[in-house]
């Protein structure tokens, strides 16, 4: 039974446990509900939905002419009766179909060249366009200019009451200093989150850095250095506060707190094992990567997803962006069914087998989302699961990578989103529809209903089932 119901006391929602050089936010507990009041479902509360925005680079093989003819991306049927063929990259996400909205046929024209000097620079401006839907200024200097990204509009309005209004993660190396190719600053290539038109936010690639950012902010710099050099678990340093709190909790809360702490410890243990392996002197697949970064793409994705789930569960933040690749990278994926290098494989020409090979890479990369969805579903919070309260937005500002095309780009919305989306739906935009229209609809649903436009939007794109019949839809 909730201790609060017995004593009339409760634990404040924003509660931290602290030790020397360590601070940890708590997950939601029964004891955080004031005495006499049951758990409530914050479904309709503006700003309560957790947002994870994930960018994929190089589009999908299904956005090529051949891929479209095989329904490798856009299903044949619009509405709720759509089919994901076995080779579809999101096939492994079908267990969460009821929370899935596939959006096809929308454009990221702001990623296209606007002038002759910009031709060929698609890889170096596309990432910035994804969440801003704004054409970036071509420059290698400090006079950057793009737009405020969707996640930051949400964080600036509704994220200020959390310790971290937003968090930014990445998988590949980032270097926001200096210039990249085609006269673009590297910041355009490496950042998807922009707090202002001239302010890209840095993204964290190293799980150790992310872990310390989340849990190692307590105490003085000297205390944090002492804790780090001791090689002890971060939980050892907060044991006193945890033990004191645990004694005041009911059985269910103690179990929930123990599970949360075990999750944190498991993440820390995996980071430590990665660092040990990567500093052992053995040959690494990615020798340039920090010691805390796993060579395995799958393991790296899982650790970063685990960190994100813990951050959302403890309400450290409600807004996360995640960049899962870097344009023009030549990384290969030994775990995938096709192990060709990423960038060369994306230039598949019109050869069907080459297109299908790149689709296998796409399917492998997208399949990592199943781990996130399961973790969100298994994490219980006030009023249900974390999946019930989260909106996961996955997409790419490029469609057919072989042509560097930005028309008919892929976009998928997943998660219960506090009932904001009906799910189990394929929406197809009419020709020329900006992706920004779908994003404007999302922003309105998230509570920014006074926002008149976003990026190059021309209005909202309804994210509800169309009235046309399945037969009519399939004839499009």
Whole-angstrom distance, CA of residue 285 vs CA of residue 303? 18
> Which pair of tokens denotes residue 5?
């119901």
Q: Are 211 and 235 in contact (CB under 8 A)?
A: no
Q: Are 143 and 433 in contact (CB under 8 A)?
A: no
Whole-angstrom distance, CA of residue 353 vs CA of residue 355? 5
Whole-angstrom distance, CA of residue 137 vs CA of residue 102? 31
Q: Which residues pair with 384 in a beta bridge?
A: 381
pLDDT at res. 3: 32
pLDDT at res. 471: 43
Whole-angstrom distance, CA of residue 138 vs CA of residue 412? 29
Where, residue-wise, is CATH 3.40.720.10 in the chain? 48-205+293-474
Whole-angstrom distance, CA of residue 317 vs CA of residue 167? 7
pLDDT at res. 240: 73
344-398 confidence digits (pLDDT tens) = 999 999 999 999 999 999 999 999 999 999 999 999 888 889 999 999 999 999 9
Q: Are 380 and 256 in contact (CB under 8 A)?
A: yes
* DSSP result, 339-361: -S-HHHHH--TT-HHHHHHHHHH
Whole-angstrom distance, CA of residue 392 vs CA of residue 404? 25
Q: 48-205+293-474 domain in CATH 3.40.50.11890?
A: no
Whole-angstrom distance, CA of residue 205 vs CA of residue 214? 14
225-246 confidence digits (pLDDT tens) = 665 666 678 777 677 777 888 8
Buried b (16+ CB within 10 A) or exposed e, 436-473: bbbbbbbbebbbbeeeeebbbbeebbebebeeeeeeeb
pLDDT at res. 362: 98
Q: Are 425 and 465 in contact (CB under 8 A)?
A: yes
Residue 214 CA to its chain's centroid (Å):
17
Whole-angstrom distance, CA of residue 238 vs CA of residue 179? 43
pLDDT at res. 231: 65
> For 445, what's the count of Cα atoms within 13 Å in the CB-facing half-sphere?
25
pLDDT at res. 475: 45
Q: Would you state the torsion angle of the CA atoms of residues 207, 209, 212, 213, taken in this order, to the nearest 10 degrees?
A: -110
pLDDT at res. 215: 85
| Residues of the chain where predicted confidence (pLDDT) is lower than 50 | 1-9, 36, 39, 42-44, 469-471, 473-476
- This prediction's pTM: 0.91
Whole-angstrom distance, CA of residue 86 vs CA of residue 354? 18
């Amino acid at each position: 039974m909730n201790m609060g119901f017995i004593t009339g006391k409760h634990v404040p929602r924003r509660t931290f446990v602290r030790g020397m050089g360590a601070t940890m936010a708590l997950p939601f507990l029964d004891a955080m509900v004031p005495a006499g009041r049951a758990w409530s479902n914050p479904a309709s509360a503006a700003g309560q939905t957790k947002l994870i925005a994930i960018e994929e680079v190089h589009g999908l093989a299904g956005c090529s002419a051949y891929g479209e003819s095989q329904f490798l991306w856009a299903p044949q049927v619009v509405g709720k009766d759509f089919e994901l063929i076995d080779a579809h990259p999101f096939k492994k996400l079908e267990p969460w179909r009821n929370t899935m909205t596939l959006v096809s046929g929308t454009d990221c024209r702001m990623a296209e060249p606007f002038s002759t000097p910009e031709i060929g620079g698609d890889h170096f401006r596309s990432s910035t366009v994804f969440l801003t839907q704004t054409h970036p200024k071509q420059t290698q200097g400090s006079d950057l200019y793009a737009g405020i990204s969707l996640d930051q509009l949400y964080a600036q309005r509704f994220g200020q009451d959390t310790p971290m209004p937003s968090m930014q993660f990445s998988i590949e190396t980032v270097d926001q200093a200096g210039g990249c190719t085609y006269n673009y600053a590297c910041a355009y290539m490496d950042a998807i989150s922009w707090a202002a038109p001239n302010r890209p936010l840095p993204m964290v690639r190293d799980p150790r850095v992310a872990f310390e950012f989340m849990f190692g902010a307590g105490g003085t710099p000297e205390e944090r250095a002492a804790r780090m050099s001791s090689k002890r678990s971060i939980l050892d340093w907060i044991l006193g506060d945890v033990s004191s709190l645990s004694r005041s909790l009911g059985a269910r809360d103690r179990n929930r707190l123990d599970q949360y702490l075990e999750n944190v410890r498991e993440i820390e243990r995996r980071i430590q094992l990665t660092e040990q392996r990567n500093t052992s002197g053995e040959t690494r697949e990615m020798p340039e990567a920090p010691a805390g970064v796993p060579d395995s793409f799958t393991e790296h994705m899982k650790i970063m997803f685990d960190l994100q789930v813990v951050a959302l569960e403890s309400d450290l933040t409600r807004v996360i962006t995640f960049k899962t690749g870097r344009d023009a990278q030549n990384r290969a994926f030994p775990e995938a069914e096709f192990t060709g290098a990423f960038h060369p494989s994306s230039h598949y020409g019109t050869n069907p087998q080459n297109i299908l090979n790149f689709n296998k890479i796409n399917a492998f990369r997208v399949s990592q989302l199943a781990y996130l969805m399961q973790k969100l579903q298994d994490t219980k919070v006030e009023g249900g699961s974390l999946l019930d309260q989260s909106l996961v937005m996955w997409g790419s500002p490029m469609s057919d990578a072989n042509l560097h095309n930005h028309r008919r780009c892929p976009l998928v919305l997943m998660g219960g989103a506090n009932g904001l989306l009906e799910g189990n739906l394929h929406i197809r935009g009419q020709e020329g529809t900006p992706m920004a229209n779908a994003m404007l609809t999302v922003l309105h649903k998230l509570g920014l209903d006074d926002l008149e436009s976003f990026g190059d939007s021309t209005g909202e794109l309804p994210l509800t089932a169309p009235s046309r019949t399945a037969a009519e839809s399939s004839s499009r």
